[in-house]
């Protein structure tokens, strides 16, 4: 780690044609010195010096940028997988769904891992002699995902494609599965209502909240 990194950061900030993320990617690839002092151009920088603190701040900032980028990537990948699942459930003749059909479809979505959980449980019963259950991390991830999605559905609403509109379903069918084109899709929040069995579609309108993604930026490098 040397002072040229700091100078590179300053140069990047002054040059509008160079994206700052290039510097952060470069910074994270540098090997940390095993010495307590930082080498800069053949010289040593004391850990408590101003230059060392400046480099440390840049490293911390680079770490935050990378973490934010990873979280954003995970968010859009999960949403893409969810949209793809609902797209795959539509048959060729369906132009739109009723709200009752959508709620039934969401229940199926929340149960999509049930077969896998049963297989994991069966394998654990067969290998009971093992101290650590097989696929424990996978099972924990599935259960966390299901609990999170069910909580969304029962509180603020779960985000899915708007399948009540003919134009939205048509756009969904034409979608190529990429994150880049996701802003074109019409999404909505569907909220569970315990008393929907005796309500018609008009009474359930307050359970669907449209989401405008037209102005949301989804970089292609997220994929």
Task: Please check whether residues 62 and 136 belong to one and the same domain.
Answer: no
Mean pLDDT over residues 30-46, rounded?
Answer: 55
CATH number at residue 159: 1.20.1440.170
Residues 141 and 178 in one domain: yes
The answer on 127 and 176 residing in a single domain is: yes
- In a shared domain, residues 115 and 178: yes
- Tell me what pLDDT residue 106 has: 97
Which strand (E) or helix (H) includes residue 6?
helix 3-14
Question: Is the pLDDT reported for residue 188 higher than 90?
Answer: yes
- In a domain, residue 84? The reply is no
Q: Are residues 18 and 112 in the same domain?
A: no
pLDDT of residue 17: 43
pLDDT in tens, 87-137: 999 999 999 999 999 999 999 999 999 999 999 988 888 866 666 777 889
Same domain, yes or no: 107 and 156:
yes
In a domain, 45, yes or no: yes
| Residue positions counted in the chain | 223
Residues 112 and 57 in one domain: no
Q: Quick: pLDDT tens for 132-164.
A: 777 889 999 999 999 999 999 999 999 999 999
Q: Are residues 118 and 156 in the same domain?
A: yes
- Give the range of the structural domain holding residue 214, as residue numbers without chain letter: 90-222
Cα radius of gyration (the chain): 25
Residues 64 and 118 in one domain: no
- pTM of this prediction? 0.64
Burial 99-120 (b: 16+ CB within 10 A, else e): beebbebbeebbeebeeebeeb
How many distinct structural domains can be found in the chain? 2
Residue at 75 is within a domain: no
**pLDDT > 90? residue 221:** no
What's the confidence (pLDDT) of residue 52? 80
Task: In whole angstroms, give the CA distance from residue 28 to residue 221.
Answer: 18
Residues 184 and 96 in one domain: yes
Would 76 be classed as within a structural domain? no
Q: What is the share, in percent, of the chain residues with pLDDT greater than 90?
A: 44
Residue 196's pLDDT band, with cuts at 50, 70 and 90, is: very low
Spatial separation of the C-alpha atoms in residues 192 and 152, rounded to whole Å: 9
Say yes or no: 130 and 203 in one domain: yes
């Amino acid at each position: 780690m040397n002072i040229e990194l700091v100078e590179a950061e300053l140069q990047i900030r002054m040059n509008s044609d160079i994206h700052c993320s290039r510097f952060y990617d470069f910074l994270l690839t540098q090997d940390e010195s095993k010495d307590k002092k930082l080498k800069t151009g053949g010289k040593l920088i004391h850990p408590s010096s101003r230059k060392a603190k400046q480099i440390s701040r840049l490293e911390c900032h680079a770490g935050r940028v990378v973490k934010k980028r990873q979280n954003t990537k995970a968010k859009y990948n999960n949403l893409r997988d969810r949209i793809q699942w609902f797209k795959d459930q539509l048959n060729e003749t369906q132009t739109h769904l009723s709200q009752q059909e959508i709620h039934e479809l969401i229940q199926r979505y929340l149960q999509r891992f049930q077969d896998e959980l049963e297989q994991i449980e069966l394998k654990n019963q067969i290998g009971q002699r093992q101290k650590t259950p097989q696929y424990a991390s996978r099972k924990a991830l599935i259960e966390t995902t299901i609990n999170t999605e069910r909580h969304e559905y029962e509180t603020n609403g779960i985000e899915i494609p708007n399948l009540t509109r003919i134009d939205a379903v048509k756009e969904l069918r034409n979608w190529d599965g990429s994150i880049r084109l996701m802003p074109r899709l019409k999404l909505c929040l569907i909220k569970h209502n315990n008393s929907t069995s005796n309500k018609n579609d008009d009474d359930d309108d307050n359970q669907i909240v449209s989401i405008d993604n037209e102005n949301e930026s989804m970089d292609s490098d997220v994929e």
